[in-house]
Amino acid sequence: MKVTYNWLKDFVEIKIPAEKLADKLTMAGLEVTSLEGRDGDFVFEIEITSNRPDCLSIIGIAREVAAITGKKLKLPVRFLAKHPIAVTRHPDFQIKIEDKKDCSLYNARIIKDVKVSASPDWIKQRLELVGLRSVNNIVDITNYILFECGEPLHAFDLDRLNGDTIFVRRAKDKEKIITIDGEPRTLAPSNLVIADKEKAVAIAGVMGGKDTEVTEGTNNVLLEAAVFNPVLVRRARQALGVQSESAYRFERGIDLGIVEFASYKAAQLIESVAGGKCTVVLTSGMLKIKPAKINLESGRVSKILGVNIPPPKIKKILEELAFKTKINSKKKFEVTVPSYRQDVKLEIDLMEEIARLFGYENIPSQLPAVKPQLTQVTARDFVLEIKDILLGLGLNEVITYNLIDSDLLTDGGQERDRIIEILNPLSKEQEVLRPALIPSLLRCIANNLNQKQEYVNIFEIANSFSWSESLPKEELFLGIALSGVKSWLLKQGLIKDEVSLLHLKGIVEALFGRLGIKNYIFQAEADSLIIDIYVEREKVGTMRGLRREMLDKFSIKNKEVCVLEVSLERIFTFGRLKKEFLSPPKYPAIARDISFILRDNVLIQELLAALQEKGKPQLREVKIIDYYHGEQIPPGYRGLTISLTYRSDERTLTEAEIQPTHASLCNILTEKFQAKIR
């Protein structure tokens, strides 16, 4: 938002230099991003946050300047009227609003016998300083009032309108209009338009039509001032790819209380600059404005801000900002909020206003009191721990978008029955909220492989979205994807290891072990490429190898891809981040190895669990230390070597004590699992 120093002086007496005023505005929350001296004036460029549409005008900034400097705001009597002054009916002209939710107020003035020509120099200069080019005196005056009052206006050539009625309605399907920039545009029923009895003549709040624009041949003008639904204006602007100063303000909300004054002031300017006479004033919609009221306690102000501000000072600050205050008791106020302050709705909003006018620099800085509390492990703690574990295992974290295109879901093999679709996507790439992480990770894998990477190992922790019992559901998931061949250079030479489901299984086991999750199993489905993960008999995730048909859709050639998806919200209940440290054993252990051949269809996890149970209490650990497939192993079999560790907490075990236990474990291998000891 650009404003000029001299233009501000029309409404408030400013005696401080422009540089100092810029500093004061910035400290009060209106950041001045640049200050430039031009043509005997100063141009302020101010960053206006989206919650302060009242500051998108010279008058709005002047209010802030008056409050900051303690000067009186100079506004016309007509501006200070409680309600708009308007004629609601006229025999020669009518306004018909199809839906008052689309347009809450519409003001029209008919000004006849105008002379369209170049604008006076003083109007041209002010518009040029704030970044607008001069068109003609009528159009320039509408732009002038837009910047001065914050109310967008539009002038129609009255003689080029068909009929004696203005309609505010939704556009017909595929209705056509040529806007004032000369571009033909096709409208949709979601677009709000201004129309005569035959066709649309303007896109409401966005841009006027070419057929009814004011030109040098215009004699009679219809001046429009209105309040349109911000959502409709924004959607129309996005759909049509149009940007305008009017739309920028309508999207953020227009003050109902400024509409009639802006129209009146523009009509006065037109009569003085372009001649003519206002013959009709017509208003339709909401005329009365019910102000919001908020109760404020001065004691709470001091408590929240951390500084004692006396009630008289609070009252003075609020009244300088045009809030009306009524004292209910010694320390309680009833504050009436002006219509243009749409951002002030709660007591805390008033406190923010008091703080910025009191001066943030006047509020003492102090450290907050630290109250020791019991540490509670939260979901965030689990997420941070999981990230640390996976990074330590050598994986790389990626961050992808929650909004994806529907084609990605199809290519990623995801069902579409519970997908949450976006009604008004900004682009094709943002059509749906993803129901799973795997499609996004696959695209990331493909991009990395295209960069000639031989090995890609990535993970992501993010939410997935779906419908559950007609309600949207959001759930936190961990996704992992591996692809390619990992290489190690050892003394024996270069070793290459192609990724498989065993790599994912190892990652899960390491992760669950660090998180303190026990009693988990991997259960293969009929399709050996899909393995479900269960904890305490509850399914928490799935890992699978992807088929070639799916990989081809992502242009992944000659590479295998394995993926994992685990619901973190389900495993949080089983995890324990609290660590318990045990004393090192007093007595040494005895280790024994067993090498054997085992059928491929026997689950190793069941075998290890059976050995662990049978070997109690002497057997403390059992693990696989070698795995072999080769010519010496018959087809359908695999060679394994397991290491068994025996120990006692009471004494050093002897060979004679562990031999019976070791023999019984060998019997389990041969009798229960039909293993052949080598």
d(CA 477, CA 480): 10
Contact 129, 38 (CB under 8 A): yes
**Helix or strand run (H / E) with residue 126:** helix 121-129
d(CA 412, CA 551): 9
Of the candidates 480, 657, 441, 462, which has an alpha carbon nearest to the alpha carbon of residue 563? Answer: 480
Chain centroid, CA 9 distance in Å: 39
User: Position of tokens 């009242």?
Assistant: 54
Q: Hey, is 21 helix, strand or coil?
A: helix
3-state secondary structure 291-339: CEEEEEEHHHHHHHHCCCCCHHHHHHHHHHCCCEEEECCCCEEEEEECC
Of the candidates 359, 283, 255, which has an alpha carbon nearest to the alpha carbon of residue 96? Answer: 283
Tokens of 618: 């002497």
Check residue 402 and report its DSSP letter: S
What DSSP string describes 494-535?
EEEEE--HHHHHHHHHHHHHHHT--SEEEEE-SSTTEEEEEE
d(CA 36, CA 620): 79
| Average pLDDT across the chain, whole number | 89
pLDDT at 527: 62
Of the candidates 506, 402, 515, which has an alpha carbon nearest to the alpha carbon of residue 461? Answer: 402
Contact 636, 600 (CB under 8 A): yes
Q: Is 600 left (phi over 0), alpha (psi -120 to 50) or beta?
A: alpha
Would you tell me how many other CB atoms lie within 10 Å of the CB of residue 559? Answer: 18
Of the candidates 183, 204, 185, which has an alpha carbon nearest to the alpha carbon of residue 193? Answer: 204
Give the pairing type, strands 41-47 and 2-4. Answer: antiparallel
Q: Is 163 left (phi over 0), alpha (psi -120 to 50) or beta?
A: left
d(CA 236, CA 79): 31
Q: Which residues contact 258 (CB under 8 A, 6 or more apart)?
A: 149, 150, 151, 340
**Helix or strand run (H / E) with residue 628:** strand 619-628
Reported pTM = 0.59
- The 10 Å CB-count burial string (b at 16+, else e) for 433-466 is bbbbbbbbbbbbbbebbeeeeebbbbbbbbebbb
Which stretches of the chain score pLDDT less than 70?
Answer: 77-91, 287, 373-376, 526-528
Check residue 599 and report its DSSP letter: E
Tokens of 217: 């041949």
User: Position of tokens 């100092």?
Assistant: 20
pLDDT at 219: 94
d(CA 549, CA 526): 19
Tokens of 554: 């992502």
pLDDT at 404: 87
d(CA 111, CA 275): 9
Contact 60, 150 (CB under 8 A): yes
User: Position of tokens 């894998």?
Assistant: 445
Exposed, middle or buried, 143 (CB in 10 Å: 0-12/13-18/19+)?
buried
Tokens of 29: 């929350």
d(CA 298, CA 318): 12
Chain centroid, CA 633 distance in Å: 58
Chain centroid, CA 660 distance in Å: 66
Give the pairing type, strands 396-397 and 455-468. Answer: parallel
d(CA 432, CA 421): 4
Across the strands, what pairs with 325? Answer: 335
Give the pairing type, strands 471-490 and 561-567. Answer: antiparallel
d(CA 112, CA 93): 14
Tokens of 335: 């504050």
pLDDT tens sequence across 522-535 = 888 766 688 899 99
Sign (positive or negative) of CA dihedral 591, 596, 601, 602: negative
d(CA 547, CA 126): 67
Check residue 364 and report its DSSP letter: P
Phi and psi for 548 in degrees, rounded to 5?
-65, -35
Tokens of 226: 């209105």
pLDDT tens sequence across 378-429 = 888 889 999 999 999 999 999 999 998 888 878 877 777 778 888 888 888 8
Contact 25, 8 (CB under 8 A): no
Give the pairing type, strands 324-327 and 184-186. Answer: unpaired
Of the candidates 59, 58, 34, which has an alpha carbon nearest to the alpha carbon of residue 46? Answer: 34
